[in-house]
Structures are given as structure tokens and as C-alpha cells.
Amino acid sequence: MRTAVLSCQVECDVTLTSPSGIFTSPCYPSDYPASLTCKWTLQAPAGFVLQLTFLDFELEEAQGCIYDSVVVDTGASNVRFCGLTANRLTLNSSTNVMLVSFSSDFSIQKKGFSISYRQVAVALRNQKVTLPQNTKDVVRVSSLVSIPVLSQFTVCFEIAGQSHTGSWIIFSYTSKEPYLSFGNSGNTMELSFGNVTCPVNDVVTVADFTANMQPFCVTWSNVNGAVAVYFKGNYHVKYCSESVGMRTETGGSFELGRGKKQGQNFNGILYNFRVWNTAMTSSELSALTCDAVGNVVDWDNGFWEIPASYAQTDSTLSCSTALPATTSQTTSCVSPGAGCPEFTYFRISLIVSDKLQVTDDSIARWLNQTFQDWNHTIYVNNVSILPGTDSSITQGMRYSCKALLVYRNTTGKLLTDADITNRLKSISPSATFALDDIAVNAIENCPAEETPLHYKWPETRTSVTHFIPCFPYKEQNASRTCMISPDNYSSFWDQPDLLNCTNIEDIKVSQENAADVAVQLADITNNELSTDELSKVVTVVTKLVNVARINVSLASTVVTIISNVMISSEPVQLAASDMALKTMDKLVQKIEFDGPSLTITSKNLAVGISAINSSSFSGANFSAFMATNSSDPQIDFESDISNSLARVSLPASLLHNMSDADIELVSRINFMFFSKTGLFQYFGSVMDQQNNGLSLNSYVVASSVGNFSISNLKDPVQIEISHLQHQWNLNRLCVFWDFSIENGTGGWNSEGCKVSPESNSNRTICLCNHLTHFGVLMDLSGASAHINERNSKILMFITYIGCGISAIFSAVTILTYVAFEKLRRDYPSKILMNLSTSLLFLNMMFLLDGWLASYDMEGLCIAAAAFLHFFLLTSFTWMGLESVHMYIALVKVFNTYIRRYILKFCIVGWGLPAVIVALVLAINKNSYTNEFYGSAENGKFCWIGNKYVFYVTCVAYFCAIFLLNVAMFIVVMMQICGRNGKRNNRTLQEEVLRNLRSVISLTFLLGMTWGFAFFAWGPVNLAFMYLFTIFNSLQGLFIFVFHCALKENVQKQWRRYLCCGKLRLPDNSDWSKTATNNTKKVSSDNIGKSLSSSSYGSSTANWTSKARVTLNPFAKRHSSSGKPYSIPVSQKCSTSDLDASSSSSSILPVHQVLDKVKGYCSVRSDNFYKNIILSDSFSNSTKF
């Protein structure tokens, strides 16, 4: 593959002859230069066309492309492009030359373009058609080709059959009537005309169609009903009198490999299919050549409609015009059907003696003169000279010379090594040097090899590009070129070009295509897979099981896939064993079937599912055995198989430890039998501690009850398993596969299991007090699988309604603080605005996530999950910053100055989550994925799919924030409750109510309700899930109520600007109250009332300005002279010196009260709580 990158050069007249490559505009992806003209000439060998694809395209847009443009000359027309119109467009040339021109004007440059090209076989003579037996696609004659009335015909083709079973049709023609077809029916080859059949089994049989390509012709004439077959050089005629006078009508459909009835598709290869409207004789058929053109249908692209996946380029075809790639190197061109190469390369080695210095030019000049005026076209491609090891004064210097000769076969004459050697010896060299030795060798072929896995490259000539189908999807081809080394002129393979091949992980899975994808994966796993490929296959299977509704047919295909996976070597299986086992467990839970039981068998895995009535369960038995004349293990539910490979007996008390609610949900018991144990390779710490020499010596069975965990059984489960090898040593251990070992990968564990004394050397009987089941990923408690459908729907309804309400009131909170400038002057209000903004976007992303996930667009889902993750982290962070602000206001009350306080909070609140999400995307963007959550079929959700990312960036992050908030919550409440006894004028009930309001306010502000997730375990998980859902989905509403709607200064702003009539508050109400309150000496209660009903600059301008100027620890320390409303005070002040503001009361958020202490005087902490938190503004407020 050649890549032409012109950097920023202005000379860009380039000819490209490589089989494939990429070229770009100058300076791409930077802007191309102005006033530029470029031209690329793409040249392919005869028999090929060029296919050009615009990988990226951006030019200046203009009507008619009058400024900057790209013009592509396809041979049939010139196509002009500009703007973005050509992006991802593909063009084909009509000849083996394609011209691409590019020009730019003096202004407005864009990034330009990147174009890929490749050489494609133009004629069907270079391609064969592979017809799979089970397909819906059809190979047919183009609808543009008119088929005439046929009263006689000759059909010739080459065929290779791959299946001899059943009935199949090679070709058919359907018009009005009769229906014409040729194929096999019940092991009889016949030509059919509607209801008339003409057997030709005595001429040709099904066995004659082998895997090797063979020419075949069949003729028919309605004059005498003669049906003739020309096969393997023999001509046979049989008369079918019933077809005399019959003919086909015009305007029909001519199809290959597809019968009129279902199941008649041909499985094989067809090539060079041609039709004539005459019945040829034996001599005419024997004289047919590749150049004979069918006058009705010819083997040319213009006659056919062939699906891209069916046509395969093959240079070894008998009539191929492409360069040969599969024949061995020879100069005689005697390989049948392979043709001769256009170029043949020879390596010559010369030992030259010269008294003077020999140069590359002198040797090249002599060689070119030597081969001039010869009857072969040959030229020197390269020459290299090395000094020899032996020299003398008389002989001069000896040089070792090597040269690459290129022979162009234009005459069809043969050229051998001896011909070139004789030519060199016959022409006298220069008088200054002499030839001491001559060696001529044709450059060897590149050897056959397999690189990478599944790509088997045949022995190939030098300079030839070989194409083979991609793996696993054969619609496209991979290519590889046999190159010549410029150092020693030997052949070597270039790197394979797999750009057109689809990777396994790129397979898109949906409910609609699940069955097709499963069939494809089953076909893929029939091949030997690498570790990476097997992991990708299992990953796609996992997605398929999560997405699709599993019917019996789909489940059977998935079981076959996992069975095929188990054939791989054990090191290959190890990489995906845990995912494969968990996928199987998920599969058996989702299978939909009718009847009392279901069995699915495959070569290495058998699955049995039994429907049960949980209210009358009396035990169950499962047996795995190998049936006579079968290599697949079978499952039996009823009878006691004497020679079973494994047997599981479930006691009648199996469900006794389950709750009544869980018992009602039990509807099935699952059983799996593994005849190969490659998926179970890790022995676990328990076994390692007991004996490092233990090895698995049995088959593996698994049993589960629905998706429930069964443990601590009164009556043990009895598991009887046959040994893989005869066991004389009685040191055995019963184990089960425990996924909690090795960080969820799984391993063997013996806890709860013991060996029965009834075991013998051939079989071991295990008694276990539990059944194993595979856990649910991403669920902290594993309880989500226990929630029934009814509760799931209720929780979903609560979630979406709550998030919608929370989003609305979060927006109202933000709008309130944005609209009224007086409300957002203090730090608590600004922090509250950031928290409300984060909650607003969190709720909106949650509401949109499921809708975005339904589009099944990977990029969109990753973006949605990343934004949801980001806003969840920002919400946690701003809750934590509320605690930090309380700590600063409560503990470090005095002499604390922090520059750009809110800016630093914003950097942490928004920047830290952004860094975390960016790191996740940078490390592995596929950590965000589209998965099913919950039991609902429509439960698609874009979220974190990697459990390690989830636990580190969500769970651990929240735990740290939660612990901080809990500590701050306790400190604040201790301070509040510790001073209750100092208030003698308040009843106990008033104190309790006041403290309760403080607790509720702080709980929602600090996100304490998120802690319900830690209690959603065991029997109380459902109750705590409801609490978690209700309170957290409505957090935005509660914050609005306690920290916006119940704030008196907010109410004043609403009444002043939003209300009318009696509810409207006069604009000068604050000034009159200030003037009144400043004339009297206030008590500590009045101070509390003042602080609880105002914020900076809102209610008491005089007091606020004084506080800001003198005592606010966050303000800058400079003189306040000249500032409005400032009143100088002394450094020492007491509560008796303070003026009160309004006497009205409302509930004030505790975090705001704590913050306000920093804006007032330096009173002791006791006075602070006495005057602020314990003020009557809390006890007297009834608005809550």
C-alpha cells in the first residue's frame, strides 16, 4: 500500500500505480495553500479498474464549484466536487486509468481531502461467484438485459460443488411458463420445463460435481427435444420428446443457484456463465474459448446483479486476465489457466575486474547496451556495487555487482536464466573491465504463509498483490503484495492490508438482528480463534443476550457458540471464561419456552430448564448422560440413568429458607453440564491452601433456582459426578465455582460442600448446603434481580416523576437567585446556585438517558453516559463543598481570609469531576456502555459498564463525600442540641420541632439521603430502595422548599416584584424597618431574628455594610471609606451593640446561618449559637 502525502509542497503532479493507497491534499489536515493546481494519475494493470473513496473532504463551498474544486475523470465522465459533498463518496473508473485534479483560488482555504484508492478486477473473468446454500440474496441477470424467446439454447459455465445432499438448482429461468431449470432432484440430474423433466443422470451424475472447478455445457433444441451435455471433453445426447415444440418466453428472470422451492439453493462455486440462443454441436463446444461471448448472457459485469459478498477475485481462474498469484514461479508459462505475468524479475550477480574505479552508472550503462536490439524487452531497474575482497596491482580491483532486471513479456516468447546468461557473455564488456563470474536467477516467489491468524496467503509472484476474503466477514477482501527488497533483490511479503475488513467487536447487535448475529458468531467460532478474538466473540454474545428476547432457537445457537468456545485451547479460554459463564447464567434466566421443561444440547455443553410450581415443590432430579450413537451430552429430568455422567438431586426443602415473596417468584430450576472444563481453570485460594497438587478430575455441573441464592440448606443437595480418570487416591475435594474469588473472576471453593462416604473410585458424591448462582454486575447488594416486575415499574414511575419535579424546582431556584441580585450576594447563595444547577442537569440527563440509549448509537451513548457521570459527580462535590463551607464558618470563624473564595470552590466543584470523567474517556471510552438495567425489556440505559470504574469513580468518590458530610452534620447538630438547656422561655416540644427542622434542612442540603444505598441489603433492601428513590429524585424540590421558598428575603423579593395588590411589598419596607430597629438596643434573640431574615445587602443595609466592612473574614482587608452604608465600629463589640433588623421570622437554612457569623462581630461560639441557631426565628416559624 502506498501513501502519497505531499506535506505543503506545491508541486503535486503524481502517478500512483500501487494496488492500493492513500493520497491527500497538500498540508492536510491543515489548510491547503492558495492558488494551487494538483493532478494525480491512478494507473492500474489491464483487467482492473480503480475504486476511489473520499475518506475526508472539505473544500470551499460555492455554487458550481467556481473557486476551489476537485475534478475526478472516471473515463466515462468528469465529476466536480467542492464543499462537503464528496465526503465518504466512492467512485469507480470505467478504464484502468483515473485522473484526480485539484485547484484552489487565492482566498479561503480549508483542510482539503484524504482519498483512498484500490485496484479492482474489472471483468467477471477475474471473479468467481460463491453461492451459500442458506441465503436470501440472489445472483441474477440484470433487469436491464432482455432475454429473448428461446426455442433452443446453449449454457456453458464452470462449476465446483460443495454439497451433494438434497435437491438443488444450478440455474433457472422464470417467465410466464414454462419454468426452466437445471439441477439435481432426488440424486437425479435433470433439465426441467415446467412439468416436463428430462433426466440426464446416465450422462452426468451428482458425484461428477466435485470441489474442483470443471467446465460444463448443456444444450437443448425444441426441434427434436435433444438435450446434450458436454462434460470432461465428452459429448452426450439424450432426447426428451415431451419438450418438442416448447419454448421460453421473453422478459423472464435468469437466476443462479436458487430454486423455485425453498431449500433448493445450490451450495458451490460458479464461473464464466454464458448463454447462447443456439444449440451448439460437439465440435462447436470443443472449440469454445474464453473469448467466446454469449449472445444472450455473457460473463461480464454489465449482464449481472451479484451481491458484493458473493464475488471473489481469483487470478487462477481459467479465463482470468488478472496477474497470476497462485502459480509457482516459472518462465515457461505452462501452468494451465494461470496465464503469464506481464513482468518477470531477474537478479544477476557479476564479479568485475577493473583497473579503474567501477561505478553504478558504468555497469548500468553497459547492461542497458547489452540488452538493446534484442528480441526480448528487458531493462535494468537497479544496480549496486561492493568492493571485492581480492585485488592485485596487475589485475586492478575486483568488484561484486548486483543488478535487478525487469523483463516485460510483450511477445509471449519464453525467457530463461540461460538466455540472459548467454546474452551477457556474448556481448564484450568495456575495454577497461572484464567479467570474471556471472550468475542469473529468477527472483523467487513469496512463500505461502498464514499471517495473521485466518489469513492464508498462497505462494505468490513478486510485485503481485493477492486478495483473499476477510475474516470473519467475507464481503470485503484483504490484500497483500509480494515485494522485492532493494538491498539484496530477494522477495518478501509486505504487511497485510486489512483496512476493508470488519472486526468482530464492530458487530452491531439489536433485537432485530440478534438471530443473524448469533448464526454469524457460531460460524466464526467453528474456526480456531486467538485469545483476543475469542474475548471479542464472548463480548458480543454477552451484548446479544442482554439485548434480545431469547427464544428456544436463539438460545440453542448461543449454547452452540459457547460450546465452540470450549474447544479452544485452555489458555485462550481463560481470558473470557468468567464472561462466558455469566452469560450462560443470564441466558438460562431469559429463555422463553412452552411446556414443563426444555433441553438444549451441543457438543460440549448441555442445558436443562424445568418449570416448577414453587408452592408444591417436592424435589427434583437432573441427569446428564451420553446417548447411544451420539457425541453430544443429553439431559434427563425424570428417569434415573444408571451410567450418567453427572446427577443432581434437589431436596424437597430446597425453598424453605426463602421468603414467601421470593418463593412466589420462583418459576424454574436450571441445570448445566460442561463436558469440557477449560472455562474452570483457576483453583482458588481455598484449594491452594489445602493442597497445591489438586487438579480437576471430573465433569462440571451447575444448578440454580431462578436467579436466587440458595444457601444454608437443612437437607443437602446431592451432586454425583463421574471422574475423568480412574481415581485410586481417596484424597478428593468437593468444590463449587465461587465468583467472589479473584476479584470476580471466579475460582474453586469447598465451603459448604463435603464428600459423601458413598463415593468410589469412579464417581464422587458431593453433599452441599447451597446452590451456586452467578451474581448481578454493577449492583452493590445484588438485590436488583429480586425486585419483581410490579415493584420495578413503581420505582421507575417514582424516579421519572421525581426527577421531573426536581428539575423544575431546581430551575426555579436558579431563576430566583439569578433574577434578584440582592439574593446572590453572599457565599451560601452562590454555592446553593451551583448545587441547584448541577442537580438540574443531573435530573435532565437521567430523564434523557433512556431515550438516547434507544438509538443504539455508540458515540451518542458514550456521550450521554459521560455527561450523566459528570453531573452526578458534580452534585456530590457541591454537597461536599457545602460541608467545607460550614466547617470554615463554624470552626474557623475568625481571622480567616480566602481570596477568590467562590472561584476556588467552582474549580473544585466543576473541575474535579471533569478531570475524573476525562481520565475515564482517555483510558477506555468503552467503560461507558449501553446495557440493560433491571428486569424490564425496555430497560436500556447508557451508564458505566466497567465495574472497576464504577466502584472507584462513583462508589468510592461518594463514600468520601458522604463521610465528610456526616461528620459535618454531627458537629452542627451537637452544637445545636448542646445548647437547648440554655433557653428557659421555650417548651420541650418547641425545642424538638426546632431541631427537627434543622435536621431536615441539613439532610437534603448535604445529600444525606444518598446514604440509603448502603442499607439496601437483605430483607430490607426493597424498603430502602423506595426511600432512596423517593428522597433523591425529589432532592431538588426539598432544597427549593427549605433553602429558597421559606427564606424571608426570597419571599420579600417575590412579593415586591411578582405580586400584586395587598400581597405586594412596598419598595421602602426595608428602609423603614432599618430606621426603626436602629433606635433600640436589641437582645440576642433579636440578633438571631435579624440574621435569620436577611442576607448581605437584602434587609438591613446598615448592619450588613458594617458587617462586610469590619468583620467579614472573606472580604479583602482594606479601608472601607467612601463605601455607601458603612458605619465604623470598634474591633471589640458585644451583642448589645448590634442593631436588629426586621422582626419577622422564617425558617433559615442552617448552612446559611453558619456562614453569616463570619459577617458580624467577634462573639464567642456560645453566643453565636445562642443568638443565631437558637433564636426564636426557628421556634416561631410555622410556614413549614
Question: Is 2.60.120.200 the CATH number for 124-312?
Answer: yes
> What is the per-residue pLDDT for 939?
60
The tens digit of pLDDT for each residue in 829-853 reads 888 899 999 999 999 998 898 888 8
pLDDT band at 49 (very low <50, low <70, confident <90, very high): confident
Q: Which amino acid is at 373?
A: D
> What is the per-residue pLDDT for 1124?
34
> What is the per-residue pLDDT for 731?
65
Give residues with Cβ within 8 angstroms of 190, minimum separation 6: 182, 183, 184, 197, 198, 199, 200, 201
> What is the per-residue pLDDT for 863?
93
Check pLDDT > 90 for residue 753.
no
Residue 452: is the preceding peptide bond cis (ω within 30°)? yes
Per-chain mean pLDDT for the chain: 75
The residue that leads in pLDDT, 1025 or 707, is 1025
The tens digit of pLDDT for each residue in 343-398 reads 788 888 888 776 656 666 777 777 777 887 777 777 777 777 766 544 443 455 77
| Residue among 1095, 1093, 1102, 1094 at smallest CA distance from 1138 | 1102
> What is the per-residue pLDDT for 157?
93
d(CA 928, CA 862) in angstroms, rounded, equals: 5
Q: What CATH class has 595-776?
A: mainly beta
Q: Which position has the grid cell 479583602?
A: 1116
Cell (9 digits) for 950: 464504577
Give residues with Cβ within 8 angstroms of 272, minimum separation 6: 124, 125, 156, 157, 158, 290, 299, 317, 318, 319
The residue that leads in pLDDT, 1111 or 344, is 344
d(CA 954, CA 366) in angstroms, rounded, equals: 77
The tens digit of pLDDT for each residue in 98-115 reads 999 999 988 888 889 999
Averaged over 1052-1079, what is the pLDDT?
A: 61
Averaged over 69-74, what is the pLDDT?
A: 90
> What is the per-residue pLDDT for 779?
34
> What is the per-residue pLDDT for 1054?
86
Check pLDDT > 70 for residue 29.
yes
> What is the per-residue pLDDT for 431?
57
Q: What CATH class has 343-442?
A: alpha beta
> What is the per-residue pLDDT for 754?
84
Q: What CATH class has 2-121?
A: mainly beta
> What is the per-residue pLDDT for 1090?
29
> What is the per-residue pLDDT for 428?
64
> What is the per-residue pLDDT for 918?
94
pLDDT band at 38 (very low <50, low <70, confident <90, very high): very high
Lowest pLDDT segment from 184-198, 654-668, 1044-1058, 1131-1145: 1131-1145
The tens digit of pLDDT for each residue in 494-544 reads 999 888 887 787 788 888 888 888 888 888 888 888 888 888 899 999 999
Averaged over 323-337, what is the pLDDT?
A: 35
Check pLDDT > 90 for residue 1075.
no
Check pLDDT > 90 for residue 913.
yes
Averaged over 1028-1053, what is the pLDDT?
A: 84
Q: Contact at 8 Å (CB) between 221 and 152?
A: yes
Averaged over 1016-1034, what is the pLDDT?
A: 78
Q: Which position has the grid cell 495553500?
A: 33
> What is the per-residue pLDDT for 721?
85
Lowest pLDDT segment from 141-145, 175-179, 452-456, 944-948: 175-179
Averaged over 1075-1085, what is the pLDDT?
A: 34
> What is the per-residue pLDDT for 743?
65
> What is the per-residue pLDDT for 133?
59
Give the global pTM: 0.39
Q: Contact at 8 Å (CB) between 798 and 1032?
A: no
> What is the per-residue pLDDT for 914?
95
d(CA 506, CA 526) in angstroms, rounded, equals: 19
Specify which of 353-362, 616-625, 1155-1164 reaches the highest per-range mean pLDDT: 616-625
d(CA 57, CA 24) in angstroms, rounded, equals: 10
Give residues with Cβ within 8 angstroms of 341, minimum separation 6: 323, 324, 409, 461, 464
Lowest pLDDT segment from 333-347, 446-460, 487-501, 1070-1084: 1070-1084
Q: Contact at 8 Å (CB) between 722 and 761?
A: no
> What is the per-residue pLDDT for 929?
83
Question: Is 1.20.1070.10 the CATH number for 787-1041?
Answer: yes
Q: Do domains 2-121 and 595-776 have the same CATH topology?
A: no
pLDDT band at 297 (very low <50, low <70, confident <90, very high): very high
Report domain extents, the chain.
2-121, 124-312, 343-442, 449-493, 506-592, 595-776, 787-1041, 1063-1180
> What is the per-residue pLDDT for 870?
94
pLDDT band at 1157 (very low <50, low <70, confident <90, very high): very low
Check pLDDT > 70 for residue 236.
yes
Lowest pLDDT segment from 398-402, 600-604, 677-681, 744-748: 744-748
